[in-house]
Chains A and B, each alone.
Chain A
């Protein structure tokens, strides 16, 4: 089944935030963001701006009627700066005007005098100064101190990853419309309608039942609209509440890029020990997460880094410590993978370092250490592992030895062009790591004409969740998909939702829908059974008809529904689902936090132009554990898209801040995401259908985030190609591998720290020194 939105998408008829027809009298907002990264506000002069034609009012923190606070996990983030600013672009004032042009013109006339304070952009500096968002956390298994003596080989090093701009093509935005009795309705481009509702309620000082948040769909989210849609909604709501007029704010791309957080850059120190047989005996890692100026979701992201610090491998002795470091960058936030990719990059770097020194392929180490069923993760959960199945199927199906031979021959023959190959196994845990968030509700109405309307907490952002939910209902009722409509996500219809995130949206909302539909179907079946005076088990719904004892009757779905209504049987259901069996004790850092894990293995091949430092990604060949895919078209799209986004993160996407904390890569002209010519020439996906029972909806495993991490293999494939040209050159584990870094590495010498490019522009922290 195709994505149910595809028809209106290709016709340009799908409605996004900026497409909602405006109510007469609508006003337009624009924010004035701090021009400096850290300082004390001495004065704020809005008089010239306020005098411009069309300007209605300029709001500051003084206009907040509730609490000037939008921090979710930690209350450390004012909506509008009061006395201090903490990052460039931090909203200081909000202009509301009669037109977008007038609002933006006024922003340019606002003058702030800000006394500068010390700016930190480096998480290691922040850690050294004690600037931490939360206390550090450590996950431990076995005892690394005692394990080093058992190791034949021990390697230490450092690895760094840069951030990543979400670059949803639809920018952030909100449209707030005042309702009677001080209530407010907000259209928001958010992955978390309840988060917006909470933020608005807090800022306005209104109870949550006064705040209606509605989401039709998003033009991409990728985590960037999980928590950070709150700001714009709260600003619009505050202005609308004061002015009693609808207020809309759809961000300009440069505002969006400058004011919102991104994937967290990480720096890490690792130590890895292997025995003679290349079994990893011990692994120690310390993560320095660049959280930015406020907590946002950083503590949760940091937690997931720890959960995924050993990727697909079983390591008996592990000690992983993470620091969430407060710097003066925009608060970094959720991004597909949510800290997992950073954790995985570090262990892959450690393994690759070992392989490079030992003069072997990293895959030799990778293969020997794959998780087996029953192996324990550092956080105590036992693996229901498909890792060896994925690995062995991938290496056999795509013939890894032959691919390797092909690369060796090519590299022997070609002087100025080198190929590289890497394997990337992935193991990703599914569930929100905060156990309480693993719940969802679905409201199903069956109308008397047989049509069905469904509302859940799921937000459609291209991932196809609404299509999957519709499939659930179609299957339970056994009716044609045309009879079912998935309605907008709305906090007045479904309350207390978790954001659409953690790859778990289809599982949670799909299961809730399954419960609701099953309840209605069972009531109808019971009615028929009573009529016929037979057991309920004899009744089934098939192909829009009632079947009795395996035989089709002449009662169709529509007449069944009408009969139910006449008999006064409830044709609506509001069902609640909570993932069973999961728990986690943060005081012990042990538990069973994930409903299940998703596994897979990718083989990635690249070619580097050793004259120019440019490269092509030739092939990505994957065996992916789908459980049992309920929609292969949607799932294939998630995998292909995730891989390309992951490759983008590892190769060309480079977030650059200067030492003043100003974003230099602040537009699409300076921040490059993959285009159609830069994607892998070939992406091959093999669906590993695994037989084990799992907690996924219809055993169709979550697919949103795991594929992104196959892209990590592109970094190591490029590294291998560069080393085929420059065997002895030293270059750090520092993603992304841009053409700049590739060229510098191709011509790097044996000495450590002789690559000026890394010192000068990139520095791992994404900071242009």
Chain B
């Protein structure tokens, strides 16, 4: 039995835990304000908010309900557009109304929910942050300018919050319904009641955030016996231990982005993560999932390959340590035993004189899958390259460390000749194919350009 709070109502259902939240909300609860747009997390028409207690704090995140199994909201609160409605229009809706930020209206509830997510997020009240909250919402009518204007107004609404708790602030100031103030206590009771439920022993499928598996085999998942990893506290957390960073396999991309350790050691982290999917997807996509789905082009895989990350697998009896660079054996083929689960990922934090850069080019800069992506970690001393690891995605059946290129670069001076030679070597160790994300020739040229881009950035960083 899955139990959660849906808006202001307690629900319990014996429907399959693998059923997606979108279908439950629309076709079983008949809350039709949440729309079906693409069924793959790429349009945001089905965006919902999920509230959960973390360290006794109520935290709201937006997510795409088309990719979220019911099992992943067990013990939490789900908020739909209907839950945001008050007498008349709430101020978020009023801003959208006043700015004519709705035309056909089909995407509109998703935008309103995402903006409510911004209000509940505790993020500083800037128009940029409000706009970032709708980076996963596609509108085909307005051209977004009116939505930008509405988002700026919503940011203004939140300016008086200062340090106040966002949930308390929005309910006290009639930005969102006042019953939200009572959710924290109800969730606490619900979680206590549920303690430890929902762990089938015969699971055939393991699901983290669901953002890939629910795209790949949506239909098969509904009736599958699933072990839900997303809420497993043992797989969460991002911490520093000595000079290494440890990331729980079920940590989300948002967790990574918000981690103080990551922010400290990767000063351009915000720019890099902005290139990875969208806010609602980052809120549910897990770091481990990005590695294990074995996409040749996973953004975090490429990021972590350049950092020479190490994986810890467990089969409940023993652990196995494996360098990430050895995980991929062929297209979607992993060095992983059937009973093994990825527990955590660790890597050595960049030291002095080191530089890190991540590059990604896709047809659309944001909310898209790369044509080619690449990361570069290196140390520079006296204008010479010390350690270097350049990784690349989209240029081979597996995410790749450019071993020969890296070997060549070690010890070389940083200049145009070196870079051009490196690009030539890189061409010999990649095997891109023509597909919807670009032709082979383009991917070859692009990888070379991204290597150039790395060095432009590296030189800039080294200068600081």
A binds B: yes
Contact surface of A with B, Cβ cutoff 8 Å? 2-3, 5-16, 18-19, 21, 101, 104-105, 166-171, 217-222, 250, 252-254, 416, 461-464, 611-614, 633-634, 636-637, 640-645, 652, 654, 656, 664-665, 667-670, 672-679, 683, 738-740, 743-744, 747, 756-757, 760-761, 768
Q: B96: nearest residue on chain A (CB-CB)?
A: A10
Q: Measured between C-beta atoms, what is the minimum distance from A266 to chain B in Å?
A: 21
Residues of B within 8 A of A8 (CB): 105
Most buried by B among A416, A642, A676, A760: A676
Residues of B within 8 A of A652 (CB): 363-364
Structural contact, A6 and B138, CB atoms closer than 8 A:
no
Cβ proximity bits B421-448 to A, threshold 8 Å, 1 near / 0 not: 0000000000000111111111001100
A612 to B363, CA, bound (A): 11
Q: B36: nearest residue on chain A (CB-CB)?
A: A18
Extra contacts, 12 of them, besides A641-B103, A654-B363 (Cβ < 8 A), are: A10-B93, A16-B106, A217-B105, A614-B361, A633-B100, A634-B100, A664-B436, A675-B364, A677-B135, A756-B440, A756-B442, A768-B434
A to B CB contacts below 8 Å, 10 in the list: A11-B33, A101-B222, A169-B138, A250-B36, A613-B449, A641-B143, A644-B142, A738-B363, A743-B446, A743-B449
Say yes or no for B388: interface residue by CB 8 A criterion.
no
Cβ proximity bits B131-146 to A, threshold 8 Å, 1 near / 0 not: 1001101111111111
Most buried by A among B142, B366, B435: B142
Give the size of the chain B interface in residues (CB under 8 angstroms): 79
Structural contact, B93 and A11, CB atoms closer than 8 A:
yes
Q: A644: nearest residue on chain B (CB-CB)?
A: B143
| Residue in A611, A633, A640, A744 whose CB lies within 8 Å of B143 | A640
Cβ proximity bits B106-149 to A, threshold 8 Å, 1 near / 0 not: 11110010000000000000000001001101111111111110
Query: Given known contacts A9-B102, A218-B104, A760-B441, is B43 in contact with A645 (CB within 8 Å)?
Result: no
Q: B369: nearest residue on chain A (CB-CB)?
A: A669
Residues of B within 8 A of A678 (CB): 364-366
Q: Which 6 A-B pairs have CB atoms at the shortest separation, nearest pair first?
A: A12-B33, A462-B104, A219-B106, A9-B105, A644-B143, A12-B81
Query: Given known contacts A12-B34, A665-B436, A744-B442, is B147 in contact with A676 (CB within 8 Å)?
Result: yes
A253 to B219, CA, bound (A): 14
From B249-257, B331-339, B450-458, give the one contacting chain A. Answer: B450-458
| Residue in B42, B80, B139, B144 whose CB lies within 8 Å of A668 | B42
Q: Is the interface of B mostly helix, strand, loop or mixed?
A: loop
Residues of B within 8 A of A171 (CB): 36-37
Query: Given known contacts A101-B222, A220-B106, A677-B135, is B142 in contact with A637 (CB within 8 Å)?
Result: yes
A644 to B148, CA, bound (A): 14
Contact surface of B with A, Cβ cutoff 8 Å? 26, 30, 32-40, 42-43, 45, 80-82, 85, 89, 93-94, 96-98, 100, 102-109, 112, 131, 134-135, 137-148, 215, 219, 222, 359, 361-369, 371, 434-442, 445-446, 449-450, 452-453, 456
Structural contact, B219 and A105, CB atoms closer than 8 A:
yes
A656 to B437, CA, bound (A): 10
Residues of B within 8 A of A739 (CB): 361-363, 371
Q: Measured between C-beta atoms, what is the minimum distance from A610 to chain B in Å?
A: 9
Residues of B within 8 A of A642 (CB): 143
Residues of B within 8 A of A761 (CB): 434, 438-439, 442
Structural contact, B361 and A612, CB atoms closer than 8 A:
yes
Structural contact, B145 and A679, CB atoms closer than 8 A:
yes
Residues of B within 8 A of A756 (CB): 439-442
A8 to B143, CA, bound (A): 21
| Residue in B89, B104, B137, B441 whose CB lies within 8 Å of A11 | B89
A7 to B102, CA, bound (A): 9
Q: Measured between C-beta atoms, what is the minimum distance from B402 to chain A in Å?
A: 18
A13 to B105, CA, bound (A): 10
Structural contact, A611 and B144, CB atoms closer than 8 A:
no
A672 to B436, CA, bound (A): 11
| Residue in A9, A11, A13, A757 whose CB lies within 8 Å of B442 | A757
Residues of B within 8 A of A611 (CB): 449, 452-453, 456
A252 to B453, CA, bound (A): 40
Most buried by B among A12, A416, A643: A12
| Residue in B39, B94, B371 whose CB lies within 8 Å of A740 | B371
A16 to B106, CA, bound (A): 8
Residues of B within 8 A of A252 (CB): 39
Most buried by B among A254, A640, A652: A640
Query: Given known contacts A740-B439, A760-B439, is B219 in contact with A170 (CB within 8 Å)?
Result: no
A676 to B107, CA, bound (A): 13
Residues of A within 8 A of B148 (CB): 676
Query: Given known contacts A611-B449, A757-B441, is B369 in contact with A168 (CB within 8 Å)?
Result: no
Residues of A within 8 A of B36 (CB): 18, 171, 250
Query: Given known contacts A667-B38, A761-B434, is B108 in contact with A9 (CB within 8 Å)?
Result: yes
Q: Measured between C-beta atoms, what is the minimum distance from B23 to chain A in Å?
A: 9
| Residue in B38, B97, B144, B434 whose CB lies within 8 Å of A10 | B97
Structural contact, B445 and A670, CB atoms closer than 8 A:
no
Residues of A within 8 A of B446 (CB): 612-613, 743
Q: A8: nearest residue on chain B (CB-CB)?
A: B105
Structural contact, B442 and A743, CB atoms closer than 8 A:
yes
Query: Given known contacts A611-B453, A637-B100, is B144 in contact with A674 (CB within 8 Å)?
Result: yes
Query: Given known contacts A10-B97, A463-B103, A668-B40, is B142 in contact with A19 (CB within 8 Å)?
Result: no
Q: B33: nearest residue on chain A (CB-CB)?
A: A12
Residues of A within 8 A of B80 (CB): 12
Residues of A within 8 A of B366 (CB): 675, 677-678
Structural contact, B103 and A667, CB atoms closer than 8 A:
no
Q: B134: nearest residue on chain A (CB-CB)?
A: A676
Residues of B within 8 A of A757 (CB): 438-439, 441-442
A361 to B141, CA, bound (A): 33
Q: A13: nearest residue on chain B (CB-CB)?
A: B33
A636 to B33, CA, bound (A): 26
Residues of B within 8 A of A169 (CB): 35, 37, 43, 45, 104, 106-107, 138-140
| Residue in A19, A217, A254, A462 whose CB lies within 8 Å of B141 | A462
A105 to B137, CA, bound (A): 29
A566 to B434, CA, bound (A): 77
Structural contact, A640 and B146, CB atoms closer than 8 A:
yes
Residues of B within 8 A of A643 (CB): 143
Structural contact, A3 and B140, CB atoms closer than 8 A:
no
Residues of A within 8 A of B140 (CB): 166-169, 220, 222, 641, 645, 673
Q: Measured between C-beta atoms, what is the minimum distance from B7 to chain A in Å?
A: 12
Q: Measured between C-beta atoms, what is the minimum distance from A172 to chain B in Å?
A: 12
Structural contact, B143 and A7, CB atoms closer than 8 A:
no
Residues of A within 8 A of B30 (CB): 21
Q: Measured between C-beta atoms, what is the minimum distance from A237 to chain B in Å?
A: 23
Structural contact, B97 and A7, CB atoms closer than 8 A:
yes
Residues of B within 8 A of A673 (CB): 138, 140
Query: Given known contacts A10-B112, A738-B363, is B40 in contact with A3 (CB within 8 Å)?
Result: no
Q: A636: nearest residue on chain B (CB-CB)?
A: B100
Q: Measured between C-beta atoms, what is the minimum distance from A1 to chain B in Å?
A: 10
Query: Given known contacts A10-B96, A253-B37, A675-B366, is B436 in contact with A656 (CB within 8 Å)?
Result: yes
Query: Given known contacts A462-B141, A675-B364, A677-B365, is B85 in contact with A668 (CB within 8 Å)?
Result: no
Q: Measured between C-beta atoms, what is the minimum distance from B4 to chain A in Å?
A: 20
| Residue in B40, B93, B98, B138 whose CB lies within 8 Å of A675 | B138
Residues of B within 8 A of A668 (CB): 37-38, 40, 42-43, 138
Most buried by B among A10, A21, A170, A664: A10
Structural contact, A672 and B368, CB atoms closer than 8 A:
yes
Query: Given known contacts A12-B34, A614-B365, A676-B137, is B452 in contact with A3 (CB within 8 Å)?
Result: no
